[in-house]
Amino acid sequence: MAAADPAAISPGDELLAAIGAGDTAGFARWLAGAEGRLRDSLRSFAGIVDVEAVLQESLLRVWQVAPRVIPDGRPDPLLRLAIRIARNFAVSELRRSRLEPVEIEALERLAATGGELPAGPDRSGDPILRRAIEECRRRLPRKPALALQARLESGGTEPDDQLAERVGMRRNTFLQNFTRARRFLADCLRKRGIDLAVELS
């Protein structure tokens, strides 16, 4: 059996092999770079399916099938697979809903075009942005800071009801404080010349 040509193995292939072998740290590294692009690829579905739920379910399925993914020489094989899985799952969710057949057909055509990568660079890990956000976060008033911290620490594993109770707020007060935190950070960043909405557009 011929040995693999080391020059033909890309860093992406090595990460794919690690993920396929069950390396959760490798999957976390891949997630950090892929999540935003996958979310952007689902924008056209955002009015009719819960993209957050579709995204999470698709990422779980990517993890399950990763051991069977074979690099095809094109970039980002796992991300292309994730986009296909996500769009197909979105359409299957629509089938479960009461959407008109003609709308489902239009979305199936959209899903069939899946696999191409959203334009734009990988924006994860920008140290300047990170420093600015951290500085703005330190200036947050106490209660909004508490609400933000609660959501960050829970990492999406608990509903807001539980988080609100933990920080001693009613659910609506918790949401108000979370909104204040989000707006405060956006305003603070804007004063530093950073507009996230523009940067992500």
Partner 1 sequence: MTAREALIESASTAWRPRGAGAVRAHPAWADLDEAGRLAAYEATRLLRRLEAALDPEGLSTTARAVLARISG
Q: How many Cα atoms within 13 Å fall on the side-chain side of residue 153?
A: 11
Which residue number, 80 or 85, has a Cβ lying nearer to partner 1?
A: 85
Q: Find the shortest distance in angstroms from Cβ 45 to partner 1.
A: 9
Nearest CB to partner 1, comparing residues 9 and 152: 152
In the complex, minimum distance from the CB of residue 179 to partner 1, in angstroms, rounded to a whole number: 5
CB of 2 to partner 1, least distance (A): 35
Sign of CA dihedral 161, 163, 166, 167: negative
Nearer to partner 1, 114 or 140 (CB): 140
Nearest approach in angstroms of CB 97 to partner 1 is: 10
**Residue given tokens 């040995």 in the structure block:** 3
Helix (H, G, I), strand (E, B) or coil at 182: helix
CA 172 to each of CA 132, 147, 158, 160: distance values in angstroms, whole numbers, following the listed order: 29, 11, 16, 10
Residue 35 CA to residue 22 CA, distance in Å, equals 19
The CA angle 138-144-147, to the nearest 5 degrees, is 105
Q: Which is nearer to partner 1, 9 or 130 (CB)?
A: 130
Contact positions toward partner 1, by CB under 8 A?
24, 27-29, 31-32, 35-36, 39-40, 43, 46-57, 59-60, 63, 89, 123-126, 129-130, 133-134, 137, 151-152, 154-160, 172, 175-176, 178-179, 182, 185-186, 196-197, 200
Contact between 57 and 89 under an 8 Å Cβ cutoff? The reply is yes
Residue 9 or 120 with smaller CB distance to partner 1: 120
For the bound state, the minimum distance from the C-beta of residue 115 to partner 1, rounded and expressed in Å, comes to 21
